[in-house]
Structure 1
Amino acid sequence: MANRRRWNIGVLLLLIIFGYVLVQFYLSTERIRGLVTPLEASEVDHTKLQIALISQELDNPFWRSVEQGALEAATKFEMELQYMGPFRINAVEQMKLLEKAIASKMDAIILQGIGSEQDKLLIEKANTLGIPVITVDTDEPGSKRLAYVGTNNTYAGQEMGRLLAGGQDNPSGVIGVLIGSQEAANQRLRLEGFKSVIKAYPGLSIADVRSSNISRLQAAQQAEQMLKEHPEITYMAGFSSLDGIGMAEAVARIKPAGVEIYAFDDLEDTLTAIHNKQIKSSIVQQPSQMGYEAMSLLNDYFHGHTVTPEQYTPISVITGKEMTAP
């Protein structure tokens, strides 16, 4: 009797495991199908030009702001915008979405440059099919994109270096740096610009450069590890939007009031940290303007006007002086 009971329980467990695997297989199949099949067009107004905006990460606040600017322009120019992106940063999925947009014969595509040969080949394919591509936030140099709209990332990195040096003739200190991703071209350009300024000051040195994977949690973890391994750090600089908050959390735990933090972008938590003097200053981009200007360039292109290959959107700096009480 006991053996039969164990046998029944074993069979039941196997059935449960089989059912779980079957469900996961079905969900994975549906997800892949959603990436590689043409866009659904049941609610699309085909009398308007169809523009695909492919983001780096679907619900990232920066990219939602790009979307808002693009939607504003789409309304003005009577175009139809379709916004898409991976749930988490994933270059492979971004390229699948680009393939999907091309297969769907979109009238134009706006996307972040990924910096891979496959991305360039896909942009060339779109160009061959008469689909203009505009890169935003990160360019894809050497590709057949129509134009780039976004921050001059090298200049932004240089500006971060000048901020940290603080206008002093001989600043001194040790710096810990976070970048969003080692693979992202915009992050590499910001870092290169930053280093080009820092090397002009013999008293300043960079102790470590780490990647946060554009995650607040990982930014905090990497910053904390840097502070433990390099207690001499007196400055920290972060080049993606969640780095500043993560660094502030780490500094509060490991070295309160002992590190000046320089951040990127103007997320609400970043602004609060500047107001509370946890972050010294932040370089602010204009993602909404990027989306709007990209759509404006497409409107010019479709009306036969010449399009400027590079259109840099402005940056600004927020410090405690600009902050007022909430």
Structure 2
Amino acid sequence: MANRRRWNIGVLLLLIIFVYVLVQFYLSTGRIRGLVTPLEASEEDHARLQIALISQELDNPFWRSVEQGALEAAGQYHMELQYTGPFRIDAEEQMKLLEKAIASKMDGIILQGIGNEQNRSLIEKANKLGIPVIAVDTDEPGSKRLAYVGTNNTYAGQEMGRLIAVENKDPVGMIGVLVGSKDAANQRLRLEGFQSVIETYSGLSIAEVSASNISRLQAAQQAEQMLKEHPEIKYMVGFSSLDGIGMAEAVARIKPGGVKIYAFDDLEDTLAAIKNKQIVSSIVQQPSQMGYKAVSILNDYFQGRTVTPQQYTPISVLTDKEVSAR
């Protein structure tokens, strides 16, 4: 009887040990799964194509809009977008960031054309390493970039000239012009397009061209100085996004109601100035579309599809009528 009891106890102990071992096995399996799953996720994230977007100026509203479009497309195509840029406009800093992106072996790079040999050489270096480069906003002619996406800047400048001609029958008078930067290729192309139209009207002439450095404060200061030095100015034109607002402030102080202003892009303050009749109209680009299309082109390239080297995004003209309808 005692032997039987010991036997039963022994069997029970073995059963308890077996159950314990089985439970530990399942717990260990769960822990291993918990360790493996993040590793697999990390490898999946790492496998995503890494795209660098190098802006002209980090927190410029135009470039933030380019970033938003690029982020949307990157999410759609399962890519990782890294947005960067100088805090203030600095071509040298842009090229340093391009060098860094190449050294980091990014899968693709989106940037603004600068228009110098050093930038073209860096793009060629990326090309040799198999890194496709897309130029947005400003092209980099003569480089090994895969494609340009953005406004046809020469055409946009011509449209600005036609706005003055069409909205003012038999236009006569002096024009004050602001550009974001005299060194930026997109600004030069807009100015050249504008000049090509203005030259066909004998009654129109450009009094002065000044740079605002894409600063509202400097735009206002340059416009004010221009108006003081050339009181005969009847029209003012701005080719970067903050120029129109700055010019409106200067005109309100120096020559209220005496100058017609034509702006670029559709910042909220620009729209308000159009609505308040301080700005006649503004040529509007599609920066978000530029970013989206640039990433889409990279996806086409990675998929082995043929890429069209120049893809212009549309522009439109906003007057008080369109602003009121928004």
Distance between the aligned counterparts of 1:166 and 1:113, measured in 2?
32
- Deviations 1:194-227 (CA, angstroms, capped at 9, x unpaired): 0000011001111000000111010000000000
Instruction: Give secondary structure in 2 for the equivalent of 1:324.
Output: helix
- Deviations 1:16-67 (CA, angstroms, capped at 9, x unpaired): xxxxxxxxxxxxxxxxxxxxxxxxxx99931100000000000000000000
Structure 1 length normalisation: TM-score?
0.86
Q: Hey, what does 1:314 align to over in structure 2?
A: 314
Unmatched runs of 5 consecutive residues or more in structure 1: 1-41
Q: Hey, what does 2:171 align to over in structure 1?
A: 171
1:152-167 paired onto structure 2 within 5 Å: 152-166=152-166
Q: Hey, what does 1:141 align to over in structure 2?
A: 141
Distance 1:286 1:44, change over 3 A: farther
Distance between the aligned counterparts of 1:46 and 1:96, measured in 2?
25
Distance between the aligned counterparts of 1:88 and 1:141, measured in 2?
24
Distance between the aligned counterparts of 2:176 and 2:227, measured in 1?
8
Distance 1:138 1:283, change over 3 A: same
Distance between the aligned counterparts of 1:102 and 1:304, measured in 2?
22
Q: Hey, what does 2:181 align to over in structure 1?
A: 181
Q: Hey, what does 2:99 align to over in structure 1?
A: 99
- Deviations 1:82-101 (CA, angstroms, capped at 9, x unpaired): 00001111111100100000
| CA shift for structure 1 position 167 | 5.3
Distance between the aligned counterparts of 1:44 and 1:81, measured in 2?
15
Q: Hey, what does 2:128 align to over in structure 1?
A: 128
Distance between the aligned counterparts of 2:272 and 2:191, measured in 1?
25
Distance between the aligned counterparts of 1:169 and 1:282, measured in 2?
19
Q: Hey, what does 1:81 align to over in structure 2?
A: 81
Instruction: Give secondary structure in 2 for the equivalent of 1:186.
Output: helix
Q: Hey, what does 1:214 align to over in structure 2?
A: 214
Aligned length: 285
Alpha-carbon contact 1:217-1:246 (below 8 Å) kept: yes
Pick the structure with more helix per residue.
2
1:141-290 paired onto structure 2 within 5 Å: 141-166=141-166, 170-290=170-290
Distance between the aligned counterparts of 2:258 and 2:195, measured in 1?
22
Alpha-carbon contact 1:44-1:80 (below 8 Å) kept: no
Segments ≥4 residues shifted beyond 3 Å = none
Alpha-carbon contact 1:275-1:325 (below 8 Å) kept: no
Bigger mean CA offset, 262-271 vs 315-324: 315-324
Instruction: Give secondary structure in 2 for the equivalent of 1:323.
Output: helix
Structure 2 length normalisation: TM-score?
0.86
Identity of aligned residues (%): 81
Distance 1:43 1:303, change over 3 A: closer
Distance between the aligned counterparts of 2:114 and 2:188, measured in 1?
12
Distance between the aligned counterparts of 1:288 and 1:325, measured in 2?
21
Distance 1:167 1:219, change over 3 A: closer
- Deviations 1:271-326 (CA, angstroms, capped at 9, x unpaired): 00000000000000000000000001001000000000000000000001112289
- Deviations 1:244-294 (CA, angstroms, capped at 9, x unpaired): 000000000000000000000000000000000000000000000000000
Distance 1:43 1:224, change over 3 A: farther
Distance 1:205 1:146, change over 3 A: same
| CA shift for structure 1 position 143 | 0.3
- Code of the aligned partner of 2:321: K
- Deviations 1:92-134 (CA, angstroms, capped at 9, x unpaired): 1100100000000000000001111110000000000000000
Distance 1:168 1:267, change over 3 A: closer
Distance between the aligned counterparts of 1:305 and 1:215, measured in 2?
41
Distance 1:91 1:51, change over 3 A: same
Distance between the aligned counterparts of 1:59 and 1:264, measured in 2?
18
